[in-house]
Amino acid sequence: MNASQSNLLSSIIIRKANRSDCLDIFRWRNDRVMRGNSILGPRKVTLSEHKRWFNEKLKDPSAIMYMAISRNRKVGFLRFNVQEDSVEISINVNPDFRGVGIGRKIITLSSEKVFKKIAIPIIARIKNNNVASKIAFKRCGYKHKNRDNKVTTLCFDPKSLVA
C-alpha cells in the first residue's frame, strides 16, 4: 500500500446517509461492476425508482444507512437492514476507489457503529463469483454460514468478540 492509499484509509469517517447522497448512490448502483455483483440482478434502476427507494429507506426504522467519507470524498455506502434475529449488510464502494482496501475498512467501521446499537449477528449475502467481497468480509471476521448455487452467506456474530 502506498502513502496516498494509507492516508485515504486512515482518514475514513462514517456518517449517516442523507438526501444529499442520493445521486451518488444512484450512480454507483448503476455502475457496470456493481450491477454484475448485485444479488438483485444486473438491471439498471431508473432515477425515479432509486429516489423512491432511497427516500423510503431514509424513513424506515429498520434500515441503517451510512456514507463513508475520506478527505472530503464519498468513498462508499453501507446499508444495514435490521431483522428480528440478524442484520443484513449491503455495501457499495465508489467505483473511483475500488481495489485499495476501502471495502474492508468501511465494513469494519460501520459494523462497529451498528454493534453499539444492536448486538445481533450481521449477515452478508454475496454472489458466489464476487471474490473480492468475500475476501473483504472474511478479513473482517465474517465466517461462512452457507452457500447455494448463486449466493454465499457469511455471518459475523458480535458475541464472538467476547472472550
Half-sphere exposure of 95 (CA within 13 A, CB side): 14
pLDDT at 162 over 50: no
pLDDT band, very low/low/confident/very high, at 5 (cuts 50, 70, 90):
low
Measured between alpha carbons, how far is 70 from 100 in angstroms, rounded to an integer? 13
Task: Please state whether the predicted TM-score (pTM) of the whole model is above 0.95.
Answer: no
Give the sheet arrangement for strand 122-127, strand by strand: 12-16, 63-70, 73-82, 87-93, 122-127, 151-156, 143-147
Q: Which CATH number fits domain 3-161: 3.40.50.620, 3.30.460.20, 3.40.50.150, 3.40.630.30?
A: 3.40.630.30
What three-state secondary structure class fits 107? Answer: helix
